[in-house]
Amino acid sequence: MDIAIIWDPVALRGDWSIVNGDLALGDALEAAVLISLFSDGLLPQQPTPSDVTVGITEPSGAPGTADADRGGWWGDAFSDVPIGSRLRQLKRAIKSGTAAIPLEVQAIVAEALQWMIDDGVAASVNVAARWAASSATTVEFTVTITEPGATTPRTFTYSWAWKELT
């Protein structure tokens, strides 16, 4: 058990669940997935070749400005393995065609969850992403995790939408 995190897909944020004035307990695997995906991971100095394919450019702007912010969590300064993902990097993406951004989402999500395999929390992690049928600016993605010794995988579905994507 872990502290329950409730995901708000409209606001694109998670929050702890409070029941009768106390923190509610929830599923540890689901909490780990939410924290891994939706915490602000440190963005690289230079975009990868697949980032460039979807139009992601290096951070611009004067040092100390929001446009130059690479993000990240302060606690990572004390950790060998940082937490979080680069999903927010997609705010700098340019939608061209139908496949590039969902493929980049798959790569970013798989990268953020790789620690689960490395640490033995998961035997396998599979990610599938697609454009949402209901919105041209929303990618839906499914994470399927098989825990060690389990015969039935667990599936989590999320969406990521961003403004000004056409």
Distances (CA, A) of 98 to 23, 56, 63, 129: 41, 16, 34, 11
Q: What is the reported pLDDT for 69? A: 74
> Residues 88, 102, 53, 136: is their CA dihedral positive or negative?
negative
Per the listing, tokens 């395999």 go with 117
Sorted by where each begins, the domain ranges of the chain are: 2-161
Q: What is the reported pLDDT for 142? A: 96
Q: What is the reported pLDDT for 97? A: 65
The two structure tokens encoding residue 157: 């579905």
Q: What is the reported pLDDT for 54? A: 67
Q: What is the reported pLDDT for 60? A: 73
- One pLDDT digit (tens) per residue for the chain, 166 residues: 888 888 877 777 788 989 999 999 989 999 999 999 988 887 777 777 777 776 677 777 777 777 777 777 777 778 787 888 888 777 766 666 677 788 889 999 999 999 999 999 999 999 999 988 888 778 899 999 999 999 999 999 988 776 555 4
pTM, to two decimals: 0.81
Distances (CA, A) of 102 to 23, 57, 129, 130, 149: 35, 17, 5, 5, 30
Residues 165, 157: Cα–Cα separation, whole Å: 21
Q: What is the reported pLDDT for 153? A: 98
